[in-house]
Chain A
Amino acid sequence: MFYRENGQFKTNYKSDQQIFAVKQDRIAIIALIAFAFIGVPLLADEYLFRAILVPFLILALAAIGVNILVGYCGQISLGSGAFMAVGAYMAYNVFMRVEDMPLIVALLSGGFFAMLAGIIFGIPSLRVKGLYLAVATLAAQFFFDWLFVRVPWFTLDNPAGIAAVSNLSVFGWQIATPMDKYLFVLGFVVVFALLAKNLVRGPIGREWMAIRDMDVAASVIGIRPMYAKLTAFAVSSFIIGVAGALWAFVHLGSWEPLSFDINRSFQLLFIVIIGGLGSIMGCFFGAAFIVITPIVLNQLLPWIGRLFGVEISTAMVGHAEFMILGTLIVWFLIKEPHGLAKYWSMARHKLRLWPFPH
């Protein structure tokens, strides 16, 4: 009843092709963004900002990057952690070595260098695919793990090998409180999500999806596989690099290469799988799931244990987190291989028909 396109006539191609062509969609997205910018800061407390919202947003951004590569272009990559690291360390170098470098330019340059790294390590995708490619990308992961530890140039010759930033500010606005950090990251995420959404709706996105579905057929009809695959790696790594720079600068403040190790790569892949391959909205669902589940389990399990009179130790909670996460992943894959985004699109589909069932 509410979610209908009746009466919305498009009179030119431009309005027909625009993002969120349906007016209700536009209103919903604008309302969501407004709530995120205005409503959440009024309701949330410091802990929610620091420990849940900021990591959620940054991981969602990184997941958008991974989803472009894995979900839209079908190239399995286990090296996302390394690209986050490249983004973080190069942004750090640009920020610290160049006098008066604006923060946003530094973050974007981190993404730029990650893009270069992505293109180089994406070259194997021209020769191999599937699981072979996944292991080849692991080479990127371990290589960069080693590079940032071994070469002191990346950490400005700091004897301890730790990189740290402080006193971030943009156009005079000091990014000091958790709410500031949240708003800053939210700005990046909204811009990049909209850009990514438009990108995958456009011709390049369709090329990626063609390569994913059947690359031989795609090359037969004239899509250049090298161009498509390498641009997928490039765009994906750029976004992941910016996310990595944000993670380091805004969330951690001071970091070491272990923050971007293979577990981070797995975590991003989980987010993308659980959220839904090939869905921008799904990245947010997946990131929310991955960020909130350990914290919920941490609170819930001892509470449940106390109900039954069993004292659950922190070690036990840690093990239970692993077990429950593993079970949930398998369960999701069995029940809904298209991820949480499929539920979302089912809900939208039902909403279109509401109040009718069919």
Chain B
Amino acid sequence: MRLRQLALSAVVAVAALTSALTTSLAMAQAPVQFFPSLTGRTGAVAPNAAPFANGFADYMKLVNARGGINGVQTLVEECETAYLTDRGVECYERLKGRHGGATVFQPLSTGITFALMPRLAVDRIPMITSGYGRSDTADGSIFPWVFPLLGHYWIGGDVVLQHIANRSGGWDRLRGKTIAVVYHDSPFGRELLPIINRRAEMHGFTVLALPVPPPGVEQRAIWLQIRQQRPDFVILQTWGVMTTTAIRQSVATGFPRDRMFGLWWSGAEPDLRDIGVAARGFSAVMMQHGQARDSEVVRQILAQVHDRGQGTGPRAEVGDVLYMRGVVGAMLAVEGVFRAQERFGRGRHVTGEQARWGYENLNITQARLDQLGFAGVLRGPIVTSCRNHVGTALMRIHTWNGTGFDWSSDWLQADMNVINPMVTASAEAFARDNNITRRTEPGC
């Protein structure tokens, strides 16, 4: 009995030591460009976060099939965070130094984003928060290491309000109306409110802010309140099961779906598929791309990755909204490295710091996007600079028709005259609170 206990504890000790040592050992191999992937494959957000990770990994494999980044192969290693902040931090610490150093991190969780932000400057690794995180990180002169490429919540909020205004006949028709915002009671959810409130000031509509404590499976009281207050429109800044519950409750309380709008995290297949026809008419603002099953890049992924048995997730998922989010995230990560290689040496491994330069100096033209297979999916040009870490401000709206999505608006451009002052003010407040000085290099 004692011998067994001794043996067991010896095995555990050896295992612990081995794992501690292997994480510190450097792997000597041909240079690869390492892209860590922080996944949410378990837990409450799994149905929405898993396709993202699959799309990310598949695109990286496609890049390798095309010959890598000027010959340098990409390497993806996943680390499961279950969307929890401390596990995300642990994953970051474990992966940041592996395989020659992480090129860029894409945490997918606003909580993990906030926790990692102070460490980036110390570790010299950039972070892409495409479509999430803090909206004021668009100002790269205060946030040199964070890139909310393609858009953030203030741009999304502005576009959805524009769409509502267009449907109502103009901004002045919104005067006196009420717009309810059902949001995830967390930094992610709250991030939408500033732009909604700003537009409400400008155009005279009332905002009804309704927070939902995560995970958000009980929303009956909120929707009863909505039934009582009868807002004209409802915007959902939610994620995961909260979105599905919200839409189901809207069915149960009789609020029309065609007056409900989500954002790109609350308007995808996992949220709507199970409700099916009853959710018809629900719209969501998409950060440029939506479902893209007919696109060239999807065709290539199916041919060169899935057909060769290397697909990361189920084949049926390829081309879904969140899968494409992962593909686009991977594309942006790789394009930054291409750009960095133009300056620091083609065909060579790029460090995190060099990649940061790449992300800050992107110039992805429509021609390049078409060449990569994103014709009809993304619209260029995506041009970043020190003061503009977003690169573009185009979005469009799609609507659920019961089984799939149809585009229900043209390309809409967020009004940067409204957003830029907000970004600058918020960034400056952050800089003051944290003793950060604005960068003064030429171009900033």
**Chain A residues with a Cβ under 8 A of chain B:** 45-48, 50-52, 55, 145-146, 149-150, 159-162, 164, 166-167, 251-256, 258-259, 292, 294-296, 298-300, 313-315, 317-319, 343
Tally the A-B contacts, defined by beta carbons under 8 Å: 111
- Chain A residues whose C-beta falls within 8 Å of the C-beta of B78 in the assembled complex: 314
Question: B15 at the A/B interface (Cβ < 8 Å)?
Answer: yes
Closest to B134 in A: A160
- Chain A residues whose C-beta falls within 8 Å of the C-beta of B419 in the assembled complex: none
- Chain B residues whose C-beta falls within 8 Å of the C-beta of A149 in the assembled complex: 185-186, 211, 213
Q: Verify B42–A315 contact, CB threshold 8 A.
A: yes
Q: Verify A315–B80 contact, CB threshold 8 A.
A: yes
Q: Verify B190–A161 contact, CB threshold 8 A.
A: yes
Closest to A50 in B: B93
- Chain A residues whose C-beta falls within 8 Å of the C-beta of B80 in the assembled complex: 298, 314-315, 317-318
Partner of A258, one of B39, B85, B90, B191: B85
Partner of B187, one of A47, A52, A150, A160: A160
- Assess A254 versus B23: contact at CB under 8 Å? Given A259-B85, A314-B80: no
- Assess A319 versus B114: contact at CB under 8 Å? Given A160-B191, A259-B86: no
- Chain A residues whose C-beta falls within 8 Å of the C-beta of B97 in the assembled complex: 47
Q: Verify A256–B42 contact, CB threshold 8 A.
A: no
Q: Verify B90–A254 contact, CB threshold 8 A.
A: no
Partner of A256, one of B43, B114, B117: B114
Q: Verify B20–A52 contact, CB threshold 8 A.
A: yes
- Chain A residues whose C-beta falls within 8 Å of the C-beta of B50 in the assembled complex: 315
Q: Verify B118–A55 contact, CB threshold 8 A.
A: no
Closest to B5 in A: A343
B39, B93, B117: which has the most chain A beta carbons within 10 Å?
A: B93
Partner of B111, one of A159, A256, A294: A256
Contacting A at CB under 8 A, from B332-346, are none
Q: Verify A167–B435 contact, CB threshold 8 A.
A: yes
Q: Verify A161–B16 contact, CB threshold 8 A.
A: no
Q: Verify B115–A258 contact, CB threshold 8 A.
A: no
Give CA–CA (A62, B194) in the complex, Å: 37
Question: B22 at the A/B interface (Cβ < 8 Å)?
Answer: yes
- Assess A292 versus B190: contact at CB under 8 Å? Given A166-B434, A259-B86, A318-B41: no
10 contacts across the A-B interface (CB closer than 8 A): A48-B20, A52-B20, A162-B114, A252-B86, A254-B118, A256-B187, A259-B111, A299-B22, A314-B78, A318-B80
Q: Verify A252–B213 contact, CB threshold 8 A.
A: no
Q: Verify B24–A45 contact, CB threshold 8 A.
A: yes
CB distance from B37 to the nearest CB of A (A): 9
- Chain B residues whose C-beta falls within 8 Å of the C-beta of A313 in the assembled complex: 41
7 additional contacts (CB under 8 A) given A48-B24, A253-B118: A51-B93, A160-B134, A164-B118, A252-B85, A296-B15, A314-B39, A318-B42
Question: B70 at the A/B interface (Cβ < 8 Å)?
Answer: no
Give CA–CA (A243, B87) in the complex, Å: 18
CB distance from A219 to the nearest CB of B (A): 40
Question: B18 at the A/B interface (Cβ < 8 Å)?
Answer: yes
Q: Verify B16–A164 contact, CB threshold 8 A.
A: no
Question: B373 at the A/B interface (Cβ < 8 Å)?
Answer: no
Partner of B115, one of A51, A255, A294, A300: A255
Give CA–CA (A300, B119) in the complex, Å: 28
What 1/0 flags go to B251-267 for Cβ under 8 Å of A?
Answer: 00000000000000000
Question: B72 at the A/B interface (Cβ < 8 Å)?
Answer: no
Give CA–CA (A112, B110) in the complex, Å: 31
- Chain B residues whose C-beta falls within 8 Å of the C-beta of A315 in the assembled complex: 39, 41-42, 46, 50, 80
CB distance from B108 to the nearest CB of A (A): 14
Question: B383 at the A/B interface (Cβ < 8 Å)?
Answer: no
- Chain A residues whose C-beta falls within 8 Å of the C-beta of B111 in the assembled complex: 256, 258-259
Closest to A319 in B: B42
Question: B89 at the A/B interface (Cβ < 8 Å)?
Answer: yes
CB distance from B325 to the nearest CB of A (A): 18
Give CA–CA (A104, B50) in the complex, Å: 42
CB distance from A256 to the nearest CB of B (A): 5
Contacting A at CB under 8 A, from B1-40, are 5, 12, 15-16, 18-20, 22-24, 39
Q: Verify B194–A159 contact, CB threshold 8 A.
A: yes
Contacting A at CB under 8 A, from B131-188, are 134, 185-187
Question: B214 at the A/B interface (Cβ < 8 Å)?
Answer: yes
Closest 7 interchain pairs by CB?
A315-B41, A318-B42, A299-B19, A314-B80, A160-B187, A314-B78, A51-B93
- Chain B residues whose C-beta falls within 8 Å of the C-beta of A298 in the assembled complex: 19, 79-80
Q: Verify B86–A55 contact, CB threshold 8 A.
A: yes
Q: Verify B187–A299 contact, CB threshold 8 A.
A: no
Q: Verify B19–A160 contact, CB threshold 8 A.
A: no
Question: B82 at the A/B interface (Cβ < 8 Å)?
Answer: yes
B5, B86, B211: which has the most chain A beta carbons within 10 Å?
A: B86
Give CA–CA (A159, B194) in the complex, Å: 8
Q: Verify B134–A254 contact, CB threshold 8 A.
A: no
Question: B66 at the A/B interface (Cβ < 8 Å)?
Answer: no
Q: Verify A47–B24 contact, CB threshold 8 A.
A: yes
- Assess A254 versus B191: contact at CB under 8 Å? Given A299-B18, A318-B42: no
- Chain A residues whose C-beta falls within 8 Å of the C-beta of B93 in the assembled complex: 46-47, 50-51
Partner of B23, one of A150, A299, A343: A299
Give CA–CA (A52, B134) in the complex, Å: 29
A146, A161, A319: which has the most chain B beta carbons within 10 Å?
A: A161
- Chain B residues whose C-beta falls within 8 Å of the C-beta of A52 in the assembled complex: 20
Partner of A295, one of B12, B90, B194: B90
Give CA–CA (A315, B80) in the complex, Å: 7
Partner of B82, one of A50, A292, A318, A343: A318
CB distance from A288 to the nearest CB of B (A): 9
Closest to B23 in A: A47
- Chain B residues whose C-beta falls within 8 Å of the C-beta of A254 in the assembled complex: 114-115, 117-118
